[in-house]
Structures are given as C-alpha cells and as structure tokens.
Structure 1
Amino acid sequence: MDDYETLRYAERDGIAWVTLNRPDVLNAIDTVMQRELTAVWRTLRASDTIGCVVLTGTGERAFTTGRDRSETLAATEALAADEPGRRSGFDSTVFHPDADDHRFGPKSSNLWIPVVTAVNGMACGSASFLLGESDIIIAADHATFFDPHVTYGLTAAYESVQLAHRMPFGEISRMALLGSHERLSAQRAHTIGLVSEVVPADELTERAGWIAATIASQPRLSVQATVRSLWMARELTRAQALDMGWSMIALGNRPEQREEGLRTFAAGRRIPWRLR
C-alpha cells in the first residue's frame, strides 16, 4: 500500500497492522485520517493474503480521542465568515446534511476480514466509530472509555448508536449523559462486555497479534462468512438471519477445506488451546 500521512501500515504473516499515528494530538481523527482509514479498508477488500487486521494507536496515552475538534472549529469559523447563519455540516437547511464523516469504520466499507482492535489508552468520542465496527476488542489495563459530547454542547448521536449494540442500555446511557465527568475503566468495560480481555500494557501487542494470527491461520472464506453471519445476527431479525444462514454456509464452506477439516478431526489431531 501507499505511504499514509496519519497512519502506520504493515503486513506480516497474513496480518495487516493499522496504527493511528497522530500522537502529538492523541491520535485525534482529522479529515486526512478519516480518508486514509476508508482507503485502507477498501484496499484490504481486494487482498488475497490478509486474514485478519489489528487496529491500534501510537503511544500509550490514547487509542484515539475522537474527532480533531481544532479542525472542526476552524471549518465552522470559516463558514461563519463566508456565510453568516449557515451551520457547518449542512447545506441549505438542517434537513440537508453535506457530510458522511461518521462512516470510516471497516464495516462501513463492507470489509469482512476480521478486525481486532487493541485499545492502548483513552478511547473517547468518535473512537466509537472504530470500536463499534470492530469484531474483537481488547484493552490495556490503563485504557479508559468515555464520550465528552454533551459536556461541550454536542449531541452524542452516532457515537451512542455505534456502541449501543456492544453495551447494556443503562451503561451506554450513563456514558453518553455523563460526558467528560466519568470514564469507564478497562476492567469495567470488560465486565459489561465492551471488551473481551484486559491485559497489561506491555502485553497488548503480543495478545492482539496472537488473536489475529490464530484467526489468519484458518480458512479465509469460512472466517469471513462467519463474520458476516455475526453481523447479520446483529442487524437483522433472528428469523431473517437464520433464513440467510444457508447462504453463508454455501459461500463459506469450500468442499476441499471441509474435507480436510474432517480428516484432521478423524485423525485425532487436536489444536493446542489457551484458557481465557
């Protein structure tokens, strides 16, 4: 892939490592990063070699602190100077939004290669666009989660929708309504199911790599059909998702891989496993 201005990208052993790389502003997401993330996801769709993605941030202070508000403020002030009375983010009226800037997560680009997100510090605000479209989230033990929108006079809309399927309603309500006044610890995030594992900070990369390598070692079509099935279960009714199940099986079960798997099982060869 081409070099990126706001991301670090590397491929190793069937894993794509995507790192948010604006540490001077705590990996805040500006327009360039937003565009580059979308480009990464869309390019990965054509990959024949990548079996899993690891997404993380540079440094230990933050995964990302969300949208770069200094950029947003500059755009708002410029619009106010040019067209007094107009609101940034809209065309002639508020019924005509002119932005699609909440769609930079992997699923928004129809990427069905699994994404393992390793949260290495603060994750707040628009971080939810990435967390909400991840398949597995793990966190360093010092990670924190919060949504500052309402504290600064902004509606926590897209952020709440993205995380509502990953957190109990009362928890996402509390996070959204308390704004910057309370943060969710990594351990609390694990307790409520937002993250699947909490590890010491110096073990985060190794653990994310192990999860990704394990996924990448398995048949890619079966993995991707499973990812698609999981998201169908979230987005459709139960009956609709079950009706679509045979389609996912037909697409994901290649006969030669299925036969090899059955032979492996019949031969008594078992997979070494970890207990979590």
Structure 2
Amino acid sequence: MSDYETLLLETSDGVATLTLNRPDRYNAFDATMVAELPRAWAQLRDDADVRAVVLTGAGDAAFCTGIDRDAVPAGDGEYTFDPYTYTDPGEALGPKTHGMWKPVIAAVNGMACGGAFYLLGEVEFLIAAESATFFDPHVTYGMAAVLEPTLLAPRMPFGDLMRMMLLGAHERLSARRALEVGLVSEVTTADELPERARWAAEAIASQPVDAVIATVRNLWMAQELSRRQALDLGNFLLAAGNSSEALAEGQRFFASGQRVRPNIR
C-alpha cells in the first residue's frame, strides 16, 4: 500500500500504521518527508476504511529527531529572517494541520526531540517504550524554542515544559517522567509497544466512526476555545456525532448482549 520514499503505510482491520522510515538518520525529516507527510495524512483522512492510525518510527534508536541538519543547505554565516514571509518546514507535518480528525496514536521508541513535537503535539495520545526519551536541543544550538513548546503546552505542566526547553541537550525526559507529567499515557516495554498501540487503535476503530471523530474534534476545540464557546459549539458536534448510523451501530452492539472486557490502566 505504501508508495512513499520516507514513510511506510500499512492498513488492516480499520487501523493504519504510518511509520517514519529513515532509521539511518534517526527518522529525521528531510524535504522529501516534509512533502510526503501531508499527502499521507490526506490519504488516511479520505480513506473510509481507516478509522484509527498508529504513528511510529522505524528502528529502536528514535521516533524522530526533528529536521535532518545534513539536509539544510550550508550558509555563509549570514542570517536573515523575515517573520512575515517565513514558513517553517515543520508546520506541514502534523495530522490536525491537514484536517485529519481520525484518532492518531503515537508509539514512541527511543529519542523524540525537536521537530518531532510537530507530530506529537497533534496526536490524540502517546504510548512510549521504557527506552523513550524526550528533549528539545534548540537553545543548545543557538535557536529559540518557540513553535514546538507551543504545541506541547496543553500537554505538560508549565515548569516541566520550561525546564525541558531551557536545558536543551543537557537533559532528557525519561518515559517514566513523561508519564508522571502527562505527556505520555502509558509506558511499556519496547517489545510490547507495537502490540499496545495496536490494541488501543483497534479498540477505537471498533466503535461508531461518527461518534469517535466528533469526540476528537470536540476535545481539540475545547482546549483551544473558551469554555463558553466550546459549549455553544458542542451542539453542532453532538448533531454530527450522534448520527443515525452511529446510534444504530451502537444499539446493535448493545442488543447483541456482547460486553467489552476493559483494560485496567
């Protein structure tokens, strides 16, 4: 199914697995990946057979380490910047930027740093291997950390986010600490990571799609708008999510006598 140079894309049973596939470069993004990710999100968004997505990185060393610095043209030491015309390459990476409201679960193994947060800042939740680490080296290399921490701000306490940004390459957040501060929802072994992420995606994909997508849109809206605005607009999402098809599918499941055996986290 995959016809990408820097990505792997596989779909089965309503779940797509999208893998950043540059393990020799720690899955850092170059110009090709920046061009391919928007196309992949649009493909997944428009594929009616896909109900949930697992986003991960190839290999054991890294989920993603941001921009591939070897792919950045060398300059002559002069630096000019026009904030009115500048387009950051990372802004095109995330699913929500491309109207992808189907749930995306990140399965993080190894390093996740810098520009990786363009992706992690726009997923529904993260599951991490015990080996995962999170850090942002921008300030260490003379760059302001601005857009990435803005995306992470709703996910982390202010002090922990500020510490991670200011310490740069000098400190890495462990998977366990990331769980404690709420950046990560679950920590597992590296061997079990694909299975745990797949389980969550399959459970989500088994439920009525309209209800799931409306719930996703509502929660993103709720964190970005005022409380009153979100509540006022919530009626429109109730109308969309409580579709006749979704309600009928849910009623059939209930009437069948089947009951979910829940995971206890």
In structure 2, how many angstroms separate the alpha carbons of the residues matched to 1:122 and 1:215? Answer: 27
Q: Work out whether residues 42 and 98 of structure 2, in 8 Å CA contact, stay in contact via their aligned partners in 1.
A: yes
| SS across alignment from 1:249 | helix
For 2:235, the equivalent position in structure 1 comes to 246
Distance change in 2, residues 1:256/1:8 (3 Å): closer
Superposed, 1:36-47 pairs within 5 Å as 36-47=36-47
| SS across alignment from 2:54 | strand
Among 81, 104, 108, the alignment partner of 1:115 is 104
After superposition, what is the alpha-carbon deviation per residue over 1:197-236, rounded to whole angstroms, capped at 9, x for unaligned? 0001000000000000111111111111110001001111
For 2:160, the equivalent position in structure 1 comes to 171
Superposed, 1:1-276 pairs within 5 Å as 3-72=3-72, 74=73, 76-77=74-75, 80=76, 85=78, 87=80, 90=81, 93-262=82-251, 264-265=253-254, 269-276=258-265
Number of paired residues? Answer: 265
Distance change in 2, residues 1:236/1:124 (3 Å): same
**C-alpha displacement of 1:258:** 1.4
**C-alpha displacement of 1:272:** 1.5
Distance change in 2, residues 1:98/1:210 (3 Å): closer
Where structure 2 has 5 or more consecutive residues not aligned to the other structure, the ranges are none
In structure 1, how many angstroms separate the alpha carbons of the residues matched to 2:132 and 2:54? Answer: 17
After superposition, what is the alpha-carbon deviation per residue over 1:19-76, rounded to whole angstroms, capped at 9, x for unaligned? 001111111111111111111011222111100000000011100111111112x2x4
Distance change in 2, residues 1:256/1:13 (3 Å): closer
Distance change in 2, residues 1:218/1:149 (3 Å): same
**C-alpha displacement of 1:98:** 4.4
Q: Work out whether residues 28 and 68 of structure 2, in 8 Å CA contact, stay in contact via their aligned partners in 1.
A: yes
Distance change in 2, residues 1:228/1:212 (3 Å): same
Instruction: Indicate the larger mover: 222-231 or 263-272.
Output: 263-272
In structure 1, how many angstroms separate the alpha carbons of the residues matched to 2:12 and 2:252? Answer: 29
Q: Work out whether residues 218 and 237 of structure 2, in 8 Å CA contact, stay in contact via their aligned partners in 1.
A: yes
Q: Work out whether residues 130 and 188 of structure 2, in 8 Å CA contact, stay in contact via their aligned partners in 1.
A: yes
| SS across alignment from 2:11 | strand
Distance change in 2, residues 1:256/1:106 (3 Å): closer
After superposition, what is the alpha-carbon deviation per residue over 1:93-128, rounded to whole angstroms, capped at 9, x for unaligned? 444314453231000101001000000110000010
Distance change in 2, residues 1:13/1:155 (3 Å): same
After superposition, what is the alpha-carbon deviation per residue over 1:157-182, rounded to whole angstroms, capped at 9, x for unaligned? 01110111110000110000000000
In structure 2, how many angstroms separate the alpha carbons of the residues matched to 1:156 and 1:62? Answer: 20
**C-alpha displacement of 1:262:** 3.9
In structure 1, how many angstroms separate the alpha carbons of the residues matched to 2:245 and 2:152? Answer: 38
- Runs of 4+ in structure 1 displaced over 3 angstroms? 98-101, 262-269
In structure 1, give the amino acid aligned to 2:30. Answer: D
In structure 2, how many angstroms separate the alpha carbons of the residues matched to 1:86 and 1:145? Answer: 29
In structure 2, give the amino acid aligned to 1:115. Answer: V
In structure 2, how many angstroms separate the alpha carbons of the residues matched to 1:260 and 1:210? Answer: 21
Identity level (%): 53
Task: Return the index of the structure with the highest Cα Rg.
Answer: 1
**C-alpha displacement of 1:266:** 6.0
In structure 2, give the amino acid aligned to 1:57. Answer: G
| SS across alignment from 1:205 | helix
TM-score by length of 2: 0.95
In structure 1, how many angstroms separate the alpha carbons of the residues matched to 2:152 and 2:85? Answer: 25
In structure 2, how many angstroms separate the alpha carbons of the residues matched to 1:63 and 1:98? Answer: 24
